[in-house]
Amino acid sequence: MKGTNPFTHFIMANADALISIFNEANALPAGPERERFLAEACQGNPPLQEQVVSLLESHDGAGDFLKGTILFPAFLLAEKPGAMIGRYKLLEKIGEGGCGVVYVAEQTEPVRRRVALKVIKLGMDTQQVIARFEAERQALAMMDHPHIAKVLEAGSTETGRPYFVMELVRGIRITDFCNQGKLSTKERLDLFTKVCQAIQHAHQKGIIHRDIKPSNILVTLHDGVPVPNVIDFGIAKATEGRLTDATVYTQLHQFIGTPAYMSPEQTEMSGLDIDTRSDIYSLGVLLYELLTCNTPFDGQKLMASGIDAMRKTIREKEPVRPCARAPG
């Protein structure tokens, strides 16, 4: 592999064997039993045995400081189709965002069905994320609405990263659906009304989405009728991290919203909990985009302008009226 040093190339070429042997060896106590297993499992491949031993020594030497953490290089932790996460077999990758990677997965028991499985990326506090999401999931379980995709389960992978299992929604983002189908203003408003009804249902149950944007509203056709589905409820809150100006460029879009759709209070990052008004603001941005094919403020320009300028724009600047931007 051009541009890859020999060590990295070896690790990547032997990733599956390395992970498998490490997991089995790590379950054995350090000593003769583990050594016999390694000699047998790595027979004929001394470099592989050497790398497994190195990882085991690093893992054992970390003690309680990294208890439960497996010290693999980051690229070894990337799942791929065919891999198992719990009782779910990954079939295909369908999306990737700042927060995680989404796969179509097949649940094998107690029922066989296809679901969407989102694996959270490295660098997040697993225990805190899982605890927050578990609390949120209890509330999510109370929601029952035809335009809200259900969150089915939460867990943690063998390497300690959180994953969330959601109802699989096959569709395209609401803005793309409207534009590709050249929907009329009335048809766009009809779809938007259904989205509002879904968000209202969630608010009545005490649930705030916190990241309403086109990619979280997918439209499918049921007997020729377009049906919007709001996805990722609760995940934005569950994965929220403490943000500072220094980290906002890499984390802002991951945890508390996407700049073009964020409410003024979300830009403050003050630690005060966001309430239903933030969702209403984001719905207003979505409606603006559905009618004009543009957001009130350009998301890329917001990010490029810096934190203070971004806050000032969202809080103080008056966007162009939709009627002045409506597509000709």
Radius of gyration of the chain (CA): 23
Q: Given this model, what pLDDT does residue 227 score?
A: 96
Comparing 301 with 226, which gets the higher pLDDT?
A: 226
Tens-digit pLDDT profile for residues 153-199:
878 777 667 788 888 988 999 999 999 999 999 999 999 999 999 99
Q: Given this model, what pLDDT does residue 107 score?
A: 93
Is the Cβ–Cβ distance between 88 and 117 less than 8 Å? Answer: yes
For the chain, what percent of residues have pLDDT higher than 90? 26
Tens-digit pLDDT profile for residues 104-144:
999 988 889 999 998 876 555 456 666 666 666 666 677 88
CATH number for the domain formed by residue range(s) 80-167: 3.30.200.20
Q: Given this model, what pLDDT does residue 262 score?
A: 82
* Span 244-258, average pLDDT: 40
Question: How many other C-beta atoms lie within 10 A of the C-beta of residue 129?
Answer: 21
pLDDT bucket at 10, cuts 50 / 70 / 90: low
Judged against a pLDDT cut of 90, whether residue 234 lies above it is answered with no
Is the Cβ–Cβ distance between 79 and 89 less than 8 Å? Answer: no
Helices (H), 173-272: 174-180, 185-204, 235-238, 248-255, 264-268
Beta strands (DSSP E) in 157-253 are 162-167, 172-173, 217-222, 225-230
Tens-digit pLDDT profile for residues 36-54:
888 888 887 888 888 888 7
Judged against a pLDDT cut of 50, whether residue 23 lies above it is answered with yes
Q: Given this model, what pLDDT does residue 97 score?
A: 64
- Active-site residue 190, yes or no? no
Comparing 243 with 228, which gets the higher pLDDT?
A: 228
- Whole-Å CA distances, 12 to 3, 54, 161, 313: 13, 16, 20, 45
Handedness of CA 129, 268, 311, 195 (dihedral sign): positive
Helices (H), 43-119: 46-61
Of these residues, 60, 211, 275, 308, which one is catalytic? 211
Q: Given this model, what pLDDT does residue 208 score?
A: 86
Judged against a pLDDT cut of 80, whether residue 250 lies above it is answered with no
For the chain, what percent of residues have pLDDT higher than 70? 71
* Span 238-244, average pLDDT: 47
Q: Given this model, what pLDDT does residue 152 score?
A: 86
* Span 11-33, average pLDDT: 74
* Span 254-260, average pLDDT: 60
Mean pLDDT over each residue of the chain, to the nearest integer: 77
Question: How many other C-beta atoms lie within 10 A of the C-beta of residue 327?
Answer: 8
Which one is the CATH code of 172-325: 1.10.510.10, 2.40.50.140, 3.30.930.10, 1.25.40.10? 1.10.510.10
Task: Report the candidate in 62, 10, 53 with the shortest Cα–Cα distance to residue 35.
Answer: 53
**pTM for this model (two decimals):** 0.67
Distance CA 261, CA 286 (A): 8
